[in-house]
Structure 1
C-alpha cells in the first residue's frame, strides 16, 4: 500500500465496535455500530493461554466480564464461558467474548473493515503480533481491502511485519516518545494513530512528509473533530457512533 495515493479506509472508525453504547469488543457492539452506519471497526486482540486470539482490551477480566485475573493466563475453554455483557447493561447479559476469527468472519461476510489493535498480555508482545498477523493474513487472503494492524508496542508490530509483511501497519502513540519516527519507518507503517490531544498542524505535516497517514483516537467531541479536519487528519476513531455520521468528514 502506498499511503500517499491509496487509502481504502473510511474516515470514521467505530471504537471497540460501538463505543460505549454496547459492551466493548463483543459481536453485539459490532452489530450495533453497523446499525449506525459504520463500516469500519476498531478492536483489541490478545492471546489465551493456549494461543487462541480473542477480543479484550484490558490485561485483566474484572472490568468487562464476570471473570477474574489475567485473561492471558486462562485457556480459551474457560474464557468462552464468561459473561462479557452484564457489566454494561441487563440487555446484553450473557454476551460472550468473541474469538478474533468470529469477528473476522462477521466482518468479511458483511463487507466491513477492521482496525486490529494488537493488545498483548505483557511479555507476549512478539508472539501476539505473530499469531494475529498470521491469522489476519489467512482470513483476509481473498479480500479486496486488508485489515489495518496497529499497536502501541513496536515489538508486536515488528513480529507482525515479519509474519505478514503485506498487511498494512500503524503505530499507536499516547505520547511522542523519543525515536517514534524512526520506529514507524523501520516498521514500514502506513499510518500514525495518535491520541487526539497530541495532534497539531505541524505534527500532521511531519507525519504526511514521512509518507504516512494521520489518524486520531478517541474523538468524541465535535469541536475537536472539526479542528482535526482543518489540520488535515485522515481518520478518526470514535465512541460517539450515535452522533457522528460515518459517511461524512468531521460532521454530525
Structure 2
C-alpha cells in the first residue's frame, strides 16, 4: 500500500496524533495503555492482525513465503496488492515497477506471465531468499482458503489505466469461493463505487489518509464496509464516530509496539502491520480473545 502518499510532515503529524493517545490528552486512552488488560466495557476483543504484504519485515514482501510465515505467526488475514501482466494474469506485487523487489526491470504490465514467473522475488531481501517468485492471485487466494484466513486485496493499477481490474479480482474470488472472507480495498474509490452498485454484499474498504469527518460522503458512496485510514487519524473519539456510522476500522501500517497498543486501546477492529508476529504476541499478552474474521 502507498505509504509514500504521506509526506514526512504528515507522517510526523500522524505520529504525534498517536502519541497523544498514549499521553494525557485523552484520559480514557491513557488508562487503557497503562492497564494492559482493558476493562470489559472498553476493548472486549483483540483487533484483527492483518499481515501487510505478508510477514514483510522479515521475509521478501508479497511472496508465498511471506504469506505462509505471516499465517504461521498468527495473522487473521493477509493483505496484498494485485496487478496484471501484459497477457492478463492477475499477480501479487506492490510496485508498478519490477525493479525494487525482483531482478526484473520496468512495469509488470509490460511483461507476460511467462516472463514474470521466471523472475527472482526474494534475493533483493537476502541471498537466502533467492528463488522466491512473484505469486499469482489465485495461488494466494487458495493458500488463504486452505489456512482459513482472511484476505485484504488492493486493486493496485490506477483505475484510469485498468478500470476493470477490481471486477476481475472479484470474478476470481467468486470462482474460488473466497468472496465472503475478502475485503476489497483501493485508494481510488471509483471501482469500489461501481462494485457496490452491482454487488452490495461485497465487503469494500476505501483507503484514506483523512479523518472520518472529511470523507463521510465518499465512504457512503463507496458502499464502505471497512474504513481504512492511516493510523495517525484514529484517536478514540474518531473510532467511536466511525463505529456509530456502522463501519469497521482497520488502520495501516503499524509496526511499533507502542502504536499497536494505542490502536488497540482506541478500539480499532483491525491493524495492518509488517510485523504480524509482534502484534500477535502483544495481543496475546493482553489476554484479549481473538476477533473472528468475517466469513
Give your verdict on TM over 0.5.
yes
**Structure 1 regions of 5+ residues with no counterpart?**
1-8
Counterpart of 2:88 in structure 1 is 51
Is the partner of 2:154 in helix, strand or coil? Answer: strand
SS of 1:126's partner is: coil
Match for residue 23 of structure 1?
60
1:146 aligns with 2:181: yes
Task: Report the Cα offset of residue 162 of structure 1.
Answer: 4.9
Are 1:126 and 2:183 counterparts? no
Q: Residue in 2 aligned with 1:223?
A: 258
3-state SS of paired residue (2:109): helix
Whose Rg is larger? 2
Cα distance in structure 1, aligned partners of 2:96 and 2:205: 21
Q: Deviations over 1:112-159 (max 9, x none)?
A: 211112211463342111111121122126x7x521111111123234
Judged with a 3 Å threshold, the aligned counterparts in structure 2 of structure 1 residues 160 and 122 are, in CA distance, closer, same or farther, namely closer
Indicate the residue corresponding to 1:234 in structure 2.
Answer: 269
Tell me if structure 1 keeps the 8 A contact 2:193–2:223: no
Q: What residue in structure 2 maps to residue 136 of structure 1? A: 173
Pairwise CA RMSD: 2.4
Alignment partner, residue 6 of structure 1: none
Distance 1:186 1:97 in 2: 34
Tell me if structure 1 keeps the 8 A contact 2:260–2:279: no
Deviation at 1:175, TM superposition (A): 3.6
Higher helix share: 2
- Kept in 2, the 8 Å contact 1:244–1:250? The answer is no
Query: Which ranges in structure 2 are unaligned for 5 or more consecutive residues?
Result: 1-45, 288-295
8 Å CA contact retained: 1:245, 1:251: no
- Structure 1 residues 54-63 or 34-43, which shifts more? 34-43
1:157 maps to what in 2?
192
Aligned residue among 151, 161, 170 for 2:205:
170
3-state DSSP of counterpart to 2:181:
coil
The answer on whether the counterparts of 1:146 and 1:167 sit within 8 Å (CA) in structure 2 is no
Give the structure-1-normalised TM-score: 0.87
- Counterpart contact for 2:50–2:77, Cα < 8 Å: yes
Decide which of 269, 280, 283 is 1:245's aligned counterpart.
280
Greater relative contact order (Cα < 8 A, sep 6+):
2
d(CA) in 2 for partners of 1:179, 1:65 = 38
CA contact (8 A) 2:87 2:112 kept: yes
Q: Tell me the distance in 2 between the aligned counterparts of 1:14 and 1:246.
A: 14
Check if 1:77 corresponds to 2:117.
no
| Residues 46 and 156 of structure 1, relative CA distance in 2, 3 Å threshold | farther
Mark the CA change 1:178 to 1:210 in structure 2 (over 3 Å): closer, same or farther.
closer
**TM-score scaled by structure 2?**
0.75
Could you tell me how far 1:235 is from its partner in structure 2? 0.8
